[in-house]
Amino acid sequence: MGEFGTGFPVFLAINSQMPTWLQWCVGSLSLVFACVWIRVLAELTATQTEPSFSLWKLFKGKFRLRTAPPPTVAGQASRSQPDGPRPLRR
């Protein structure tokens, strides 16, 4: 991801009339820039807490799988939910 976002100077250097040694210098600096950019992105996104999702939860959400019925509040009758989508009201 870092090299994809920071590799554009290399393409500019290759397509210009620069000497080969200067193109290599631009490419090397682009790699250093990519490593710095990856570190910045990691600092912005890394957290110390445990993630609140897992692949199983992602799979369940995608296919709307239910493992247990939803909890009911004491004193309220549980309402049954239809399995299909709600009909459209006009």
- Residues 16-70 pLDDT 10s: 999 999 999 999 999 999 899 889 988 888 877 776 777 887 777 777 666 666 6
Given a cut of 80, whether residue 74 has pLDDT beyond it is: no
Q: For position 24, what pLDDT does the model report?
A: 93
Specify burial of residue 33 (Cβ count, 10 A radius: 0-12, 13-18, 19+): middle
Q: How much is the pTM?
A: 0.48
Supply the DSSP string of 44-68, one letter for each residue: HH--SSPPS--HHHHHHHHHT--SS
23 within domain boundaries = yes
Total tally of structural domains belonging to the chain: 1
Name the DSSP class of 17.
T
Q: Which domain, by its residues, includes 40?
A: 2-47
Residue 84 lies in a domain: no
Residue 90 lies in a domain: no
pLDDT of res. 62: 73
- Asked if residue 10 belongs to a domain, the reply is yes
